[in-house]
Amino acid sequence: MTTFGDRVVSAVKKKGNPCVVGLDFHDRLIPAFVSKALQQCKARDEFRRIVSELFCRIIEAVSPLVPAIKPQYSLLESYGAAGVEILEDIIRVAHNEDLLVIADAKRGDIASSAKGYADAFLSARSTELFPHGYDADALTVNAFLGRDTLDPYIDICKQSTKGIFVLVKTSNSGSAETQDARLESGKSIAELYAEIVDQVGHKCIGDSGYSGVGAVVGATFPLEASKLRKLMPHAIVLVPGYGTQGASAKDVVVNFNDDGLGALVNSSRSITYAYGSTDVSEKNYYLSVVENTNRMIDDIVHALKTVSG
C-alpha cells in the first residue's frame, strides 16, 4: 500500500531535505515590481495573471530544491474567484514541477459539510465546470469538531495517496490555553489530538511505515513537540514556526523520528519576503528566493546531522 506518508518519505529522500516553501500572499510585503503591476491592473484576469506569475516563478525557482510547497488559503480568499483561480494555478504548476502540495486551509466541519471540504481539496476532478479542482496532495484539517468529522478525509487517504495534517499544537502563544490545558486524565488537549491522529492514521500506514494522516506541531514549543512526536510515531509532522516566527533549526529536530524522517519543516516569509530592498529587481528577487531556500535547507540538514551524529 502506498500512502501520502510514503510519498513524503520518497520526496524528502530525493531532494535530500524535509523543507517546505510556504506561499502566503501578503500584499504589503511583495516586491515593488509586483505591487506596481497590481496598482495598474484593471481587471480580475490581469490580477490573477500577475499574482499567479509571482507564485509560479517562485515554485519553478524552488522546485529543484525542496519536496513540497504549502499555499496559504486565507490571504487569497480575500480576492474571491480570482483568489481561487490563483490557488488552482499554483497547484497545477507545482504538480508540473513534481512538487507535493499541502493546501493550508485548516478546514473543519461535520458530516456532509466535512465531505464537501474533503472533495473540494483532495478529490481529483476535471470537468468543464471546475477545470482543475484543487486536487492538492494534502490538506491541513481542524479536528475540534470531533474524530468523526475526519471520516471523509480518512476515506480518501485510504483509497488514494492523498493525506491530511490534523492540527495538534499550533505555533502561536495563545495555543497554550486551548491546547496545553490538562484533562482530568492527566494528558493535555494536544496529547488527546495526537492520540486521535495516531489511532485514525493506523488505517493509512504505507510501506515506509508512515501514514497518510499527519499532524501539525509548531516549532515554537519543542518540549511539547518532543512528547507529541512519541505519541504518533507513524505520522508525518508538519512543522510551522521556523524562521520569521522565531524557532531555530535546533528547535525543529525533536519533530523527527530516529530514522531522520517523519517531519516536514515549513518556512514562508523568511523565504519569499526576505529579499532586502523593496525595489529589488525581478531577477534578484527570484535569486533571493533560491538563496533563502538554500540557507534554510543547509540550516535544517546541518541540525539534523548534528543530532544523529
Q: Is 207 in the site for its own copies (CB under 8 A)?
A: no
C-alpha to C-alpha distances, 203 to 158, 190, 194, 232, 263, nearest whole angstrom: 7, 21, 15, 13, 19
Q: Using CB under 8 A, which residues numbered 107 to 126 contact its own copies?
A: 107-114, 116-117, 119-121, 123, 125
8 A C-beta contact, residue 99 and residue 59: yes
Smallest distance from its own copies to CB 223, Å: 18
Member of 39, 40, 126, 128 binding its own copies (CB under 8 A): 128
- 106 lies in the site for its own copies, by CB under 8 A: yes
- Minimal distance in Å, beta carbon 247 to its own copies? 14
- C-beta pairs of 251-259 under 8 Å, 24+ apart in sequence: 251/219, 251/220, 251/222, 252/219, 252/222, 252/300, 252/303, 253/303, 253/304, 253/307, 254/222, 254/225, 254/226, 254/229, 255/217, 255/219, 255/225, 255/229, 256/18, 256/229, 256/304, 257/229, 257/233, 258/308
| Residue 47 cell numbers, joined | 490580477
32, 124, 183, 307: which one binds its own copies (CB under 8 A): 183
CA distance 171 to 247: 9
Is position 173 an interface residue for its own copies (rule: CB under 8 A)? yes
Residues between 212 and 271 with contacts to its own copies, criterion CB under 8 A? none
Those residues whose C-beta lies under 8 Å from the C-beta of residue 5, and which sit 6 or more positions away, are 163, 204, 205, 206, 208, 209, 210, 211, 212, 214, 234, 235, 236
106 classed as catalytic: yes
| Interhelix angle 44-62/32-39, nearest 10 degrees | 160
Q: d(Cα 240, Cα 218) in Å, to the nearest integer?
A: 5
Residue whose CB is less far from its own copies, 50 or 65: 50
- Residue with Cβ nearer its own copies (222 or 241): 241
Candidate ranges 93-101, 141-149, 204-212, 249-257; the one touching its own copies (CB under 8 A): 141-149
- Please identify, using beta-carbon distances, which residue of 117 and 210 lies nearer to its own copies: 117
Structural contact between residues 219 and 18, judged by C-beta atoms closer than 8 angstroms: no
> Which of 39, 40, 43, 277: binder of its own copies (CB under 8 A)?
43
Exactly one of 145, 274, 280, 290 binds its own copies (CB under 8 A); that residue is: 145
Least Å distance between CB 52 and its own copies?
Answer: 13
Determine the interface stretch with its own copies among 52-60, 169-177, 230-238, 300-308 (rule: CB under 8 A): 169-177
Which residue in the set 39, 40, 81, 126 belongs to the binding site for its own copies (CB under 8 A)? 81
Shortest Å, Cβ 190 to its own copies: 10
Q: Decide if residue 53 touches its own copies (CB under 8 A).
A: no
Q: Any contact of residue 196 with its own copies (CB under 8 A)?
A: yes
- 44 touches 83 (CB < 8 A): no
> Catalytic pick from 36, 42, 70, 106?
106
Among 24, 89, 198, 251, which residue interacts with its own copies (rule: CB under 8 A)?
A: 24
* Among the residue ranges 10-18, 94-102, 182-190, 291-299, the one whose residues contact its own copies (CB under 8 A): 182-190
DSSP code, position 205: B
CB 224 within 8 Å of CB 169: yes
Residues catalogued as catalytic: 106
